[in-house]
Amino acid sequence: MGLLEGRTAVVTGGSTGIGLAAAQRLAAEGAHVFVVGRREPELEKAVAAIGDATAVVGDVSVAADVERLYEQVRARGKGLDVVFANAGVNHLATLEEVTEEDHDRVFAVNVKGVLLTVQKALPLLNEGASVILASSTAAQNGAAGMGDYGASKAAVRAYARAWTNELRGRGVRVNVISPGPVDTPMFEDVFGERADEMKAAIGAAIPAERVAHPEELAAAVAFLASSQSSFVHGVEIVVDGGELAA
The catalytic residue positions are 149
User: Hey, which residues does 173 pair with through a beta bridge?
Assistant: 130
3-state SS, residue 95: coil
Query: Which residue, among 25, 150, 212, 177, has the nearest Cα to 86 in the 3D structure?
Result: 177
What's the one-letter identity of residue 143? A
Radius of gyration for the chain, computed over Cα atoms and rounded to the nearest angstrom: 17
Please list the alpha-helical segments (H only) found in the chain: 17-28, 40-50, 63-76, 100-107, 113-119, 138-141, 147-166, 186-191, 195-204, 214-225
CA 141 to chain centre: 19
Residue 174's DSSP bridge partners are: 131
CB contact set of 138 (below 8 Å; sequence gap of 6+): 146, 149, 150, 153
